[in-house]
Structure 1
């Protein structure tokens, strides 16, 4: 397996995805700024939470999109340049984990920066932010990272099925992916409603949720490898 490890591939993917994330953060910061202005001008009591909460769900969506685009933007590119499917797989797996970690770190930095700016402007009374212990934030950071990586695996799964098979199997993959997303929400304590049926979120500790999501992500990693190990690459 080590002969398929390519540091250049990992660096290339990481740099490219970081470029994509610049647009993401620009949009998130703009929306956040609009929220603060709207709440400042509003007569109602504002409900503002930590920036990292605000960005958490959207960062998972970004990772899902990156997972899908990985297949259609890089698979043929690497094969055409003489790299193996295993190199593509290992590079994508490691680079995506690094991106998930980076997004979490950036989210924390921006949260601290936002708090500092609000303090300087004497606007801290507008916020309903709760104070938590350092260990809580470490746990939340790890949970956010694992969740984002799981979403990448889900997007990768969708992309591989669409690429390898026909469109209707891709639709089936989307349905399967939807249930994985529902599962992630339930594990993270969120209620999920499907038509008139509601499933209550589980009351798990952050540590337990992290372990379960790591196991699910590992399972998705194996599934993605099975899909890509002998995939027929469509050349021009």
Structure 2
């Protein structure tokens, strides 16, 4: 495995996705400012939520798109430069985990900056956003990372199926990905409704959810590797 662990590939992917994430944070911060303005003037109900929760709704979708784009942007590029499919796979898996950790760290730090900025305008940070313990936020941080990484792997899977097979198998992969997203929501305690059918969220501890999502991510990584290890790369 070590000969396929290319630090340059990991570094290039990480830097590129970090650039993409700037747009994500820019959009989220703009929306956050608008929410605070609306909350200040009493035009937004209910009261604004913690930035980490706010970000948790956007980061997984961003990583899902990154996973799909990984296939169509970098697979041929690295193959043309003489790198193996395993190098591409290992680099993508590690770099994606690194970028989710980075997004998570930034998302944990931004509420501190947010509180300082609000205090400059004489706005007190709502008490209901501060009641959780340090241990809770560490657990939630880990859950945030694993959830976002799972979405990347799901997007990667969809991209690989579309790239390797015909479009109808890609549609099936998209449906399967949708089922996995529903499953993730249920595991994280959210109720999912599809065509009037309700799937109640499970009442699991954060630690239990992390373990289940880790196992699910590992399984999807294996499937992705099986798809890419002998994939026919489409050259120009």
User: Fold-level match, TM-score > 0.5?
Assistant: yes
- Corresponding residue for 1:106? 106
Q: Distance in 1 between matches of 2:44 and 2:137?
A: 29
Contact 1:47 1:128 in 2 (8 A): no
Q: Distance in 1 between matches of 2:196 and 2:154?
A: 26
Contact 1:63 1:148 in 2 (8 A): yes
- Corresponding residue for 1:171? 171
**3-state SS of the aligned residue for 2:129?**
coil
TM-score normalized with structure 2 length: 0.97
- Corresponding residue for 1:200? 200
- Corresponding residue for 1:94? 94
TM-score normalized with structure 1 length: 0.97
Deviations 1:124-149 (A, max 9, x none): 26564241100000000000000000
Deviation for aligned residue 1:45: 6.0
Deviation for aligned residue 1:44: 6.7
Q: Distance in 1 between matches of 2:170 and 2:176?
A: 10
Matched, 1:147 2:147: yes
Deviation for aligned residue 1:27: 0.4
**3-state SS of the aligned residue for 1:198?**
strand
CA shift in 2, pair 1:47/1:199, >3 Å = same
- Corresponding residue for 2:66? 66
Matched, 1:85 2:85: yes
How many corresponding residue pairs?
236
**3-state SS of the aligned residue for 1:48?**
coil
When structure 1 is superposed on structure 2, of 223-232 and 32-41 the one drifting more is: 32-41
- Corresponding residue for 2:18? 18
Deviation for aligned residue 1:123: 1.5
Deviation for aligned residue 1:42: 2.4
Q: Distance in 2 between matches of 1:129 and 1:207?
A: 21
5+ residue gaps in structure 1? Answer: none
Contact 1:6 1:87 in 2 (8 A): yes
Deviation for aligned residue 1:117: 1.9
CA shift in 2, pair 1:86/1:43, >3 Å = closer
Contact 2:35 2:44 in 1 (8 A): no
Deviations 1:196-224 (A, max 9, x none): 11011000000000000000000000000
Q: Distance in 2 between matches of 1:30 and 1:196?
A: 34
Contact 1:68 1:156 in 2 (8 A): yes
Q: Distance in 1 between matches of 2:96 and 2:220?
A: 13
Deviation for aligned residue 1:120: 3.2
Q: Distance in 2 between matches of 1:66 and 1:4?
A: 22
- Corresponding residue for 1:51? 51
Deviation for aligned residue 1:46: 4.8
